[in-house]
Amino acid sequence: MRYFALLILSLLLAASGSASAQAAPLDKQGTQLIEDAAMTGAFEIQASQMALQNADRESVKEFARYMLLEHELISSRLASLASAKKVELPTDLDNDRRDELDKLQQLKGPDFDKRYIEQVAIGAHEQALARFKAANESSGDPDLKAFAAETMKRLQQHLDRARNIAGQSDRGTEAPTSGAGRGLPADEATPQGGEPTREGAPGTPEHAAESQ
């Protein structure tokens, strides 16, 4: 009996230690990653909302709709992780992101397209990918590593699409939206229900075939 009592006590202590380890707060790097990811997501969402109103090319507007769906999903999962790790998410953007939104707000048409793709769709995603990669390699927290690994895949998909759109602009392969096209409802190109399709970047022949 005494042996079994000691065994049960040992198991309880081990379980308690494991639970404590899982509930342990994140280190400074992990906390900063969550805080920065929250600001990046809010920045992407606000910039993409502007794009629906101010962009010229339909592929840019479609990318913006895709960003709204994707970053709302990422932000939801990030909020769950932050709650579990007792990390308080920021309620406002930092100065650099606010300044960039102010600059975007002043632009329309092709000028907006160029800055949105360069600074938001490409620049912000490159920076976010670098931060998530560093966290995934150095963090000892399994929950953070799992979130970072999953988010990196999504961010890479975003970046690939953005670079494809930038390439179309450089080659002049897409005409700007004009006439009746500007009056299309903002959600026509967005699949209803579920996540947006991953196959065929906006503006490519594969994507055009899907929409027919």
CATH number, domain containing residue 151: 1.20.1260.10
Tell whether 209 is covered by a domain.
no
For the entire predicted model, the pTM comes to 0.70
- Number of domains the chain is built from: 1
In a domain, 3, yes or no: no
Q: What is the pLDDT of residue 173?
A: 58
Closest CA to 72 of 205, 190, 179, 211: 190
Task: Pick the more confident residue, 177 or 133.
Answer: 133
Predicted pLDDT of residue 145: 93
Q: Give the least confident one: 13-22, 66-75, 93-102.
A: 13-22
Of the candidates 194, 209, 186, the one whose C-alpha atom is nearest the C-alpha of residue 58 is: 186
At residue 157, does pLDDT exceed 90? yes
The string of pLDDT tens digits covering residues 65-90 is 999 999 999 999 999 999 999 999 99
Q: Which of 67, 78, 68, 72 has its CA nearest to residue 147?
A: 78
Percentage above 70 pLDDT, the chain: 68
Mean pLDDT, residues 154-162: 96
Amino acid at the residue 80: S
| Structure tokens given for 14 | 């081990």
Q: What is the dihedral of CA 124, 129, 135, 136, to 10 degrees?
A: 160
Q: The domain containing residue 44 runs over which residues?
A: 27-171
